[in-house]
Structure 1
């Protein structure tokens, strides 16, 4: 069974479509990179998956049930490009609030959080407020809260922005560990060299349309380009740079 499935999804803001006839799926235990320029339709696709936008046509399913089903929300977690925290809550309280939202016992949440706090070097910041955190630290708080939950599906939008090199390596380690537990990850990124290191498959969106979907080897075979993911992307889109 697919963890996530998009079937011929067309949609956007208001009546104007931004994405057109998008279809793809994520299987259990996959890390899939959603690749495209800024404005290609990646964020719009993600907002439809999250149920923040309603498609003009097509269907989106999580665990074979329509995403509009409120019960489906507990099976996924979202990490946005820009950290969104509550200024009046400490890091500890953010973890507790996340646990409550997902029906997780607080003690269990804190047990899961301990190695994450250590990984991101925030174990001494539990009782501090976000006003005292840098952007990178705020991003790490978002990551900790998301990975504490351990849902079936992680959706991560531009995860490496604002993270230091150790934070990036920590995130990659976490994603691989979740994949090994059978979890699925859809990650939007334009840092293709990093994505090439650990993604199992790549979905390339250009001008709101899916133009490729496959592993690095299958994309090389399809395009005849025996190069990097950047090389394949440039060949498929005709763009001179990836932003």
Structure 2
């Protein structure tokens, strides 16, 4: 197993947002984390990233426990946030170099890895430009490039398609599929369920801070007694509290 989340309970205050969540992610799969706004998807992601401290539970990536060696643990993952985090005083090239420094990658290796990504997202002529002047979609592409030069075991991607044009969306999906084929793991939070249904191997459905469904589409159809249902159908039924 690449990723293990065991009995995770936590949030921001005394009242937990997520309650006793457990799941495992395998190498070479794309998993969709889905649910309504406010059910705990972002909280779950922040706990896996180590940005929040759980009140209970354990997390590990490739056998590295977050509580035993958080620095090595964090180098096992990369993250693409829903809203791009751009530094106003850094050029695109400096964003790439800063990411490389954080992960212990030399600049030459980082730029070699970045070149095909820069070409894919049509940013190869923008290396000396400050991304703070970019559109939201271009800023999101900067986040994607920085995340994919790292080459970690786990990619965590929060609403990856917001702000991207159709070509950018397809390029993002192609990158995720390529990493899956390399044996990496992708955890993707998204509301675009038709795309998730097409590209994800399994799904984790969250509702009110609890997992109410885990598995591939056929497993979810059986669980919710909805043969031939789409992921959209199951999502709507499950979040209305029917079939649980």
In structure 2, the residue matched to 1:227 is 229
1:157 is aligned to 158
Aligned residue pairs, count: 239
- Cα contact 1:113–1:144 (8 A) shared by 2: yes
Give deviations 1:4-58, integer Å, cap 9, x for gaps.
1111111111211000110001011110000011101000001110111111111
Q: Which runs of 5+ in 2 are unaligned?
A: none
| Match status 1:57 vs 2:56 | yes
Partner of 1:44 in structure 2?
43
Find the counterpart in structure 2 of residue 139 from structure 1. 140
Alignment-derived partner of residue 199 in structure 2:
198
CA distance, structure 2, for counterparts of residue 201 and residue 22 of structure 1: 16
Q: Tell me what 1:180 maps to.
A: 181
Q: 5 Å matches for 1:206-217?
A: 206-217=207-218
Output the CA distance in 2 between the equivalents of 1:159 and 1:140: 10
- Post-superposition offset of 1:182: 0.5
Deviates further, 213-222 or 198-207: 213-222
CA contact (8 A) 1:31 1:179 kept: yes
For normalisation by structure 1, the TM-score amounts to 0.96
Find the residue that maps to 1:213 and give its secondary structure. Answer: strand
TM-fit CA distance, 1:222: 2.0
| 8 A contact 2:86–2:132 mirrored in 1 | no
What is the Cα deviation at residue 107 of structure 1? 1.0
Verify the 8 A CA contact 2:80 2:147 in the aligned structure 1.
Answer: yes
SS state at 1:59 partner: strand
| Structure 1 runs, 4 residues or longer, greater than 4 Å off | none
Cα RMSD for the two superposed structures: 1.2
SS at match of 1:13: coil
Q: 1:168 maps to which residue?
A: 169
For 1:94, the equivalent position in structure 2 comes to 95
Give the secondary structure class of the aligned counterpart of 1:116. Answer: helix
| Offset of residue 239 of structure 1 | 7.3
Question: TM-score, normalising length from structure 2?
Answer: 0.95
Match of 1:20 in 2: 19
In structure 1, stretches of 5+ residues that fail to align are: none
Does 2:74 align with 1:85?
A: no
